Structure formats: structure tokens, C-alpha cells
Amino acid sequence: MELDARFKDHLPGLRMRALALADNALAADRLVRSTYLHCAYNAAEFLQHPNPRHWLLVAMERLVEPWRTQRGAERALDRLWSTGMEASW
């Protein structure tokens, strides 16, 4: 129960950060849930950390990085596709 209480203490800030990182509110909620799951999996490390807010924010940033990379690749393909289509006209 201590894990849940400590996580909930930081939930408003996590939600604000997730909204800044994600494309929309649904993606932000998923990011917060993923951060909680990561936190639960690494509960001992989280509970012993001297700065739990920092621990959570770093965890969230690390979780969002693969998503950003994928989104960047998708955007690059979209640009390539649209440029290719324009050139073929």
C-alpha cells in the first residue's frame, strides 16, 4: 500500500508531464499507467529513492522515448510518401 500512496502523491505532476509529452489525453493516460507499472515492477528501488518525483519523471521520459522514435519514423515516412507522390504528378 505504501507504493500506491507514494505514487498517488505525485500523480497530478505526472499527469501534467504526460500531457506535455503525449499527443493527446488518451496517450497521456496510457503513459501514466505505464509509469505506474514500471514503478510497481521496480517498487524497492522507487521506495528507497531519495527523490521519488525525479525517479518517476525519469522513468516516464524513458518510457516515452521509444514512442517518440516510432512517431518520428512514421512522420519521416509520411513526408517521404507525400514528397514522392508530388514528384510523380
CATH domain 2-88 topology:
Rna Polymerase Sigma Factor; Chain: A (1.10.1740)
| pTM reported for the whole predicted model | 0.75
Return the domain boundaries, the chain: 2-88
Rg (CA), the chain: 17
- 26-78: per-residue pLDDT in tens? 888 989 999 999 999 999 999 999 999 999 999 999 988 877 777 766 666 66
DSSP-derived secondary structure letter, 42: T
